[in-house]
Amino acid sequence: MVVSGTGKRILAKAKEYQLLLATIAVIMIVFTAMTAYSGVWPPLVVVESSSMQHSDDTSSMGVIDTGDMVMIKAQNQEPITYVEGYLTGHRTYSGYGDVIVYRPYGDGRYTPIIHRAICWLEYNESGDGSFDLPELAAYPSEMWESFFDGNSQGQRWWDLTGMVKLYQIGYANVTVEIDLASILYYMETHLVEDASGYVTMGDHNWVKKEGERIGIIDQYSIVRLPIDEDWIIGVARGELPWFGLIKLYLTGTAPDNGPGNSITNLVICLALIVILPLGVDYTMFRLDRRGIHLFKTKRGSDDRPVRRSKRKAK
């Protein structure tokens, strides 16, 4: 086959950057595989807030920190709550239960929220309306309590209309207060017929109140109802730490108080991903110009790398 001069130049350029082209091809293959596994688009979301961190100033592998990219898996089965996870040992992102991604009220105008499912509320339509929390039936009695009008109802988990408290939740051992009366009032005033769903909370969303750490559930700060299953985009599965910081800085949405080591780790990763392959590619190109072919052998040889010497001029 005869190749024109232009074709030879193109082939030569492709040869010079073969390692870089191979790296790009591998990235595309990996991204395609991630999309197929995820079942949603986009398969990755960038974490913009610190609500899931376990520290104010340090990021950690296995924890969802500001600037992490989290892979989302389409919801093929019911998410496992914190309460269920505690009973079965199911853990994700350094905590019991699944982390879900949902849109408040199922409205596409809202930014998706990525928080942990704490427990499931089952709405009873009989009578004046109340909630059941059947998961609590097997939950350790010292770790929860129900109330009505400020008085303890002990470990009653059915027909509840007051308050439920969960103790020692998450890495910070917070107390989670679920105000069922407030949810029922919202349902009545907004003509909501059924409000069964998940109570959710960011791992890092808590405040100190009279010396006690109180968790701030989404039903106080983001939505007024439990998270309906139809609002859920997917379940968090896996993460690519730090790389979301690139988007946050380019869009000007990076927080001022993000983990300091995340930036350092990002720079190191970029150096390894970008500079190292380019350096190797350049080194191979220089060796090739000098007649040293690291990955080529002569026909009939014993497959060991050889150096081709130039003929002496006569």
Query: Is a pLDDT exceeding 50 seen at residue 313?
Result: no
Distance between CA atoms of residues 217 and 159, nearest Å: 21
Residue 281 has pLDDT above 60, yes or no: yes
Report the pLDDT value the prediction gives residue 301, as an integer from 0 to 100: 46
Q: Residues 307, 310, 312, 314: is their CA dihedral positive or negative?
A: positive
**What tokens does 60 get?**
């950690």
> Phi and psi for 251 in degrees, rounded to 5?
-95, -5
Q: Of the spans 25-29, 156-160, 236-240, 268-272, which averages the highest pLDDT?
A: 156-160
Structure confidence by residue, pLDDT tens digits, 48-102: 999 999 998 889 999 999 999 999 998 788 999 999 999 999 999 999 999 999 9
Mean pLDDT of 190-199: 93
Tell me what pLDDT residue 203 has.
97
Residue 9 has pLDDT above 80, yes or no: no
The token duo for 270 is 């970029």
Mean pLDDT, to the nearest integer, of 273-285? 76
pLDDT of residue 102: 96
Give the least confident one: 69-78, 129-138, 219-228: 69-78
Helices (H), the chain: 5-16, 18-38, 82-88, 180-189, 218-221, 244-251, 260-270, 276-289
For the segment 241-265, the average pLDDT, to the nearest whole number, is 86
Per-residue pLDDT at 146: 98
